[in-house]
Amino acid sequence: MQEEWIGKSRGATVNFKVKETGDDVPVFTTRPDTLWGVTYMSIAPEHPLVEKLVKGTPREAEVMAAVKKMRAGGTSEKELAEREKEGVFTGFHVVNPVNGEEAPLWVANFALMTYGTGAVMSVPAHDQRDFEFAKKYDLPIKAVIFPEGGLDEKEMAKAYVDKGEMKNSGPFTGENDNFGAIEKIIDWLDREGKGKGKGTVNYRLRDWLLSRQRYWGAPIPVIYCDDCGVVPVPEKDLPVLLPTDVEFKEGHGNPLASSESFVNCKCPKCGKDAKRETDTMDTFVDSSWYFLRYCDSKNDEKCFDPEIIKKLMPVDQYIGGIEHATMHLIYARFYTMVLHDLGLVDFTEPFERLFCQGMVCKTAYFCEKCKWLPETEVEFADAEAQNKTQGKVGKCKKCGKDGVTAEMTKISKSKLNIVDPDAMFDKYGTDCVRLYMLSDAPPDRMQIWAEDGINGAWRTLNRLWTMIVEKAGSCAPVDEAMMPTQLNSKNRDLRRKTHQCIQRVTESIEGGFQFNTAIARCNELLNMIRAFKKPINPAVLREVLETVVRIVSPIVPHFAEECWERLGRTESIFTAGWPEADAAVAAEEAIEIPVQVNGKLRSRIKVKPDESESSLRDTALADEKVKASIEGKEIVKVIVVPGRMVNIAAKG
RNA sequence: GCUGGUGUAGCCCAACUGGGAGAGGCGAUCGGCUUAAAACCGAUACAGUGGGGGUUCGAAUCCCUCCACCAGCACCA
């Protein structure tokens, strides 16, 4: 995702020239294979060449009027996306360095000054956007890449952007894979050098709000003086603090600008009256290095001591919402790389591992007139409508209008679909709410908020508690918990299950924090203890109860600590560490494997876990049920997967 | 439009990465306890894995295709 966001693209910069004036107009392209199909060029309305070229020409008025209109358009991505493609001919032409051909130079609103060089070579035959523009303004279309069935420039309904054979392409004519030839063309441009162009890597890091007209954010430490110009705030005066006397008024722009005490200051250079910068930096500026400051937060000499950073960083495991993947996390990485280059940190990546948890979602309701509605303001058409997560559900209680729609989205204050967990904490306790949330779904997945399931977590904790209280007295004493060498099969089963539980929970948590399955394993073990009719061996009992409590301790820490004490432990459970499984104890004594006939389950056989292939085959074929189902049939093949299953393919 | 994710029981979700469709939980039903209800205890039922096609002895899992939902990105040359 980050790769896409920084928009790294490899391509070439190609040096076009204005025919009439000789001005350079470099362009960036990722498709140098289409260089020979250029029929016009588009430059951004903000491009400095626009004014320079048309000044004093007969077309000046017309071009500048059109350019002015284009510049007036918004620059937000949304506006850009919805805008109609427009352009105006400058009256000038450019010369294509690869073949000397001339092409008209246009100004177009879809060319962005902030990307590449602000100029786009246009190949309408092989680029959809260029194609549309060419059709609109009746510009020529020249195909240079041909699919097997050929291509008719006059009949084209859209640009041809797939693979094909290169034609009319100078030294590359005849290449039958244009995409494969791109690298060669870039090499060729590099060799040919200055006149033509060179290989280039481009990025399109978007604006990340370094300056914004808001109160919240770190002030930019800059002062404007009439005489001295832009003057940085001297180090001794840092940091510049936000004023406390600002007035927040709707529609009055930046509140900082209206704070006299903030804006008015003295020039640090000449001492005359000066004005302070009122834009602030986005909070991303701070969140890009806070993890370094945290390591040495009390340091008032410098932002951090590199020695301490060396010890503590990088972060082993970063957990955050997916919404941070493309912004905060990129900035943090970028800052770290800069600090590395400055020699302040000895690593280039701040976070070793990343885990993105899913969002908690809940149905939100929308009324055309009253906008977002809380659930209580919706009059549902029927019981079914109440459970719908999309589409029309009923009337708005506020305005009475029908047609309130439901939508499943991330819980947010603005959409009025928030839940207040306090009531749940009061009723069930934080441990119980946490257990419920973690047991409901894997954490990387979106979770639909529902309180129905919390009873399950409540019951689990109550059962475990009751069990601990009842059985604590029957456990072997803490200090003498020697495991007997001989145990009956029931006790052996319980021990096996205990150690399997440790193994599987460890896997579940290490393999992506899958607490839901970890909790399921614990429930399984608890169910097994409850199903015990006879008394459990005291040593086994201590082992199993302590195991469960230790395993759930990261999820329900307060609860686990209480249980631990009840089991006679005096040290905190968090000094006990994570339990370790004994593989020998966890190993199965006997397993049951399925026997299929033609892929359908016909019987099950009990075998040793390491039963050999031939023995499995014989046991399966000797089974009564299997015999019955293959009677009168010819055995074509017997597939044996040791430890897993037997499948008999029979015909007739 | 592009990219990624998800789709399994009435509901939330498992399934050792190709091998018995069900681990855990919610809810439901029945029974026990109770004067009764809740709680608690015990038991039971419910799907053939979004649709279609393919590969295979065998597909929830792999391939193709279509559908639905969620998320991110979207004139980036």
Nearest nt to the CA of A108 via C1' is B75
Q: How far is CA A651 from the centre of its chain?
A: 52
Complex prediction ipTM? 0.90
Q: Is the bond preceding residue A239 a cis peptide, omega within 30 degrees?
A: yes
pLDDT category of residue A249 using cuts at 50, 70 and 90? low
For domain A2-202, the question of CATH label 3.90.740.10 is answered with yes
Report the distance separating Cα A166 and Cα A146, nearest Å. Answer: 7
pLDDT category of residue A208 using cuts at 50, 70 and 90? low
**CA–CA distances in Å: residue A436 to residues A428, A561, A611:** 10, 18, 41
Classified as helix, coil or strand, A321 is strand
Res A627: pLDDT: 87
Nearest nt to the CA of A636 via C1' is B57
Whether A80 has a pLDDT exceeding 60, the answer reads no
Q: Residues of A from 85 to 124 whose C-beta is within 7 A of strand B: which are they?
A: 85, 109-113, 115-121
Q: Six-digit token pair at A495?
A: 């021990």
Q: What is the mean pLDDT of residues A456-472?
A: 92
How many CA atoms within 13 Å lie on the side-chain side of A458?
Answer: 11
The strand ranges marked E within A411-463 are 447-448
pLDDT category of residue A76 using cuts at 50, 70 and 90? very low
A604 CB less than 7 Å from any atom of strand B = yes
Report the distance separating Cα A473 and Cα A545, nearest Å. Answer: 12
CA angle A372, A377, A378 (to 5 degrees): 90
Kindly report the bases of strand B lying within 7 A of a protein C-beta atom. Answer: 3, 5-6, 11-16, 19-21, 23-27, 39-42, 57-59, 69-77
A455 CB less than 7 Å from any atom of strand B = yes
Q: Which of A404, A30, A2 is nearest to A185 (CA)?
A: A30
Res A192: pLDDT: 74
Whether A598 has a pLDDT exceeding 60, the answer reads yes
Res A211: pLDDT: 60
Report the distance separating Cα A570 and Cα A572, nearest Å. Answer: 7
Task: Write down the residue that tokens 């086994």 correspond to.
Answer: A540
Each domain of chain A, given as residue ranges in start order, spans 2-202, 218-281, 284-357, 360-410, 448-586, 591-651
Give per-residue pLDDT as tens, A132-144. 888 888 888 888 8
Element (H, E) at A43: strand A40-43
A462 CB less than 7 Å from any atom of strand B = yes
A411 CB less than 7 Å from any atom of strand B = no
Beta-strand relationship, A229-232 and A264-266: unpaired
Q: Which CATH class is domain A591-651?
A: alpha beta
Element (H, E) at A500: helix A489-510
Q: Six-digit token pair at A555?
A: 């999820």
Give per-residue pLDDT as tens, A317-350. 888 766 666 667 777 888 888 889 998 888 888 8
Give per-residue pLDDT as tens, A531-567. 888 889 999 999 999 999 999 999 999 999 999 999 9
Report the distance separating Cα A235 and Cα A233, nearest Å. Answer: 6
Q: Which of A115, A165, A119, A159 is nearest to A144 (CA)?
A: A165
How many CA atoms within 13 Å lie on the side-chain side of A563?
Answer: 27
Whether A1 has a pLDDT exceeding 60, the answer reads no
Return the DSSP state at A159: -
Task: Calculate what percentage of chain A has a pLDDT beyond 90.
Answer: 17
Q: Which of A512, A492, A450 is nearest to A584 (CA)?
A: A492
Element (H, E) at A230: strand A229-232
A450 CB less than 7 Å from any atom of strand B = yes
**CA–CA distances in Å: residue A210 to residues A206, A223, A651:** 11, 17, 74
Q: How far is CA A489 from the centre of its chain?
A: 49
Rounded distance in angstroms from the CA atom of residue A297 to the C1' atom of nucleotide B21: 54
Mean pLDDT of chain A: 83
Burial A45-57 (b: 16+ CB within 10 A, else e): bbbebbeebbeee
In terms of pLDDT, which residue wins out, A195 or A68? Answer: A68
Contacts for A634 with CB less than 8 Å, ≥ 6 apart: A650, A651, A652
A530 CB less than 7 Å from any atom of strand B = yes
A9 CB less than 7 Å from any atom of strand B = yes
A388 CB less than 7 Å from any atom of strand B = no
Query: Phi first, then psi: what are they for A164, rounded to 5°?
Result: -175, -175
Return the DSSP state at A588: -
pLDDT category of residue A83 using cuts at 50, 70 and 90? low
A557, with CB counted inside 10 A (0-12, 13-18, 19+), is: middle
Rounded distance in angstroms from the CA atom of residue A598 to the C1' atom of nucleotide B49: 21
Rounded distance in angstroms from the CA atom of residue A378 to the C1' atom of nucleotide B24: 35
Task: Write down the residue that tokens 């034609």 correspond to.
Answer: A167
Report the distance separating Cα A64 and Cα A57, nearest Å. Answer: 11
Report the distance separating Cα A475 and Cα A74, nearest Å. Answer: 74
- DSSP codes joined into one string, A45-109: TT-HHHHHHHTTSTTHHHHHHHHHHHHHS--SHHHHHHSPP-EEEEEEEEE-TTT--EEEEEEET
For domain A448-586, the question of CATH label 1.10.730.10 is answered with yes
β-partners of residue A43 are A107, A119
Q: Residues of A from 562 to 591 whose C-beta is within 7 A of strand B: which are they?
A: 591
Report the distance separating Cα A223 and Cα A265, nearest Å. Answer: 8
A439 CB less than 7 Å from any atom of strand B = yes
Query: Phi first, then psi: what are they for A423, rounded to 5°?
Result: -60, -40
Whether A173 has a pLDDT exceeding 90, the answer reads no
How many CA atoms within 13 Å lie on the side-chain side of A541?
Answer: 21
